[in-house]
A = this chain, B = another copy of it.
Amino acid sequence: MSSIKDVSRYAKVSPSTVSRVLNGTAPVNSETKKRVLKAVKKLNYQPNAFARGLVTNRSGSIGVIINEISSPFHSAIVQGIETVVEPTGMHLIVSSGHNKLQPERNALNFIVQRRPEALILRLETLSDKEFLDWLRSEPAQTLPIILLGRYIPELSKSCVCLDNELGGYLATKHLIDMGHKKIAHISGPLSMKDSCDRLQGYRRCLETSGLSYDETLVIEAKFTEESGQQAMQRFFDQGKDFSAVFIANDQMAMGALYTLRQLNKRVPEDISIVGYDDLLFARYLYPALTTIRQPLAAMGEAAARLALRALEHKTIDIKQKFEPELIQRQSVLRFA
C-alpha cells in the first residue's frame, strides 16, 4: 500500500509538501498542488490513520460501550449517537460488554488502547466504586466521558439518564387508574439497575395506592423475548390470579403476548399489559402495546453532543435528564 513517500517521489516533492496539500495546513503553489493531487489519485493513496493519529494525537474516534449491538434497544441508542457523530467526520468504535463483568472490563481496556477522544459508556455490571477508581486513573483523567443510563453524582455533568423508578411507577399507576387491583410484574435481571428501579417504582406505586406488594406476582426474567414468553407461561403454570402485568421491557412484552395467545387469553380483555421502552415494533404488535417510552435515540444524541461539546470545550446546554412517558395504545383495558 502506498505511503506519503511514494506520493512525494511520484510528484517530485517532499513528503512535507504532500502533507500540506492534503491537509491544507500551509499555502502550496497551485502547480505543485496539482501534481501532488495527480500523484495521490494515480497511486490511490489513502493516508495511514495510525501514523497520523500517532503524531497528531487525535484518533478521530469516539469509544462506545454497550451490551449488545444486535439488540433493538441498544441499536436505537447507537443510531442516535451515530446521527450526531457521523457528520463531524469522526467515527465510532463500539465494543460489547455482554452484560458481564469481565467482558465489560476488557471492552474498556480494549477501547482505551485505541485512544478514542471521548467515551460514551453504558455500563451495566461495573460497580460505581470500581468505575470511579478507574476514572481516577491515568487514561480517564484526560478523556471526556459520558455515562448513559447511569447517574453518578461525582459525574453529574456527564450523565444522560432517565428515571426508571418513575417509569415503573407510571406504568403501574396507569394500570391502577384503569381499575386493576391484581397486577403482576415481569422484571429484567435484578443484577441490572434499570430492572431494580422499575421494580421499585412498581412496588412504590402499589404501596402508595393501598395495594399490597406480593412478591409471588413478580418474576425475574432476562429482558429477552424468550424469557418474557417463559415468565408469562410460569404465571399460568402456577395458577396465579391477576388482571394486568407490567413488563419491564417491550421485548419481553412481545414474548409474553405470544404466550398469552397460545393460552387463548385475550389482551386486553383478559389481561392488560404495559411494556417499557417503546421500541419501534411496539406500535405494530397486536394489540398495539401500551408502554413507557424511553427516547433512546434522543438520549444517544444527547450523549454524543455532550461528548463533542466536551471535546470543543464549549458549553452548550444539553438535555441530560429524560422523562419516561406513558404511551397509551391498545393493550390495556379498564378493569370491570
A149→B87 CA distance, assembly (Å): 27
- Closest B residue by C-beta to A86: B96
Report the separation of the CA atoms of residues A285 and B283 in the bound assembly, to the nearest whole angstrom: 11
CB of A182 to closest CB in B, whole Å: 25
Contact residues, A267-281 vs B (CB, 8 A): 280-281
Say yes or no for A70: interface residue by CB 8 A criterion: yes
The answer for the CA separation of A125 and B47 in the assembled complex, in Å, is 25
A110 at the interface (CB under 8 A from B): yes
Chain B residues, Cβ within 8 Å of A75:
69-72, 75
- Minimal Cβ-Cβ distance residue in B for A228: B284
Determine if A130 is an interface residue (Cβ-Cβ < 8 Å): no
Is the beta-carbon distance between B113 and A47 smaller than 8 angstroms? yes
Question: Given the complex, which residues of B lie within 8 Å of A1, measured CB to CB?
Answer: 115, 138-139, 142
Interface pair B225/A284, CB less than 8 Å apart? yes
Beta-carbon nearest neighbor of A112 in chain B: B46
Q: Is A102 an interface residue (CB 8 A)?
A: no
Tell me the minimal C-beta distance from A297 to chain B in angstroms.
8
In the bound assembly, the distance between CA atoms of A74 and B225 in angstroms comes to: 19
User: Per-residue CB proximity of A38-50 to B under 8 Å, as 1/0?
Assistant: 0000011111111
Q: How far is the CA of A93 from the CA of B138 in the complex (A)?
A: 26
The interface residues of chain B lying within 8 Å CB-to-CB of A113 are 46-49
CA distance A68 to B225 in the complex (A): 23
From 36 to 72 in chain A, residues with beta carbon under 8 angstroms from any chain B beta carbon are: 43-51, 53-54, 59, 68-72
- Knowing A50-B53, A70-B82, A284-B285, the reply to whether A44 touches B137 (Cβ < 8 A) is yes
Q: How far is the CA of A334 from the CA of B46 in the complex (A)?
A: 58
| Residues of chain B within 8 A of A76, CB atoms compared | 70
Q: Pick the most buried of A50, A54, A280, A286: most chain B CB atoms within 10 A of its CB.
A: A50
* A14 close to B (CB within 8 Å): no
- 14 additional A-B residue pairs with CB within 8 Å, beyond A46-B113, A47-B113, A91-B110: A44-B137, A48-B54, A48-B115, A50-B54, A50-B59, A50-B114, A72-B75, A82-B96, A91-B93, A91-B95, A225-B284, A254-B281, A254-B284, A258-B283
* 24 residue pairs bridging A and B, Cβ less than 8 Å apart: A1-B115, A1-B139, A43-B138, A44-B138, A46-B112, A48-B54, A48-B113, A49-B50, A49-B115, A50-B51, A50-B115, A68-B79, A69-B82, A70-B78, A75-B75, A91-B93, A91-B110, A93-B93, A94-B94, A225-B280, A258-B283, A258-B284, A285-B285, A285-B286
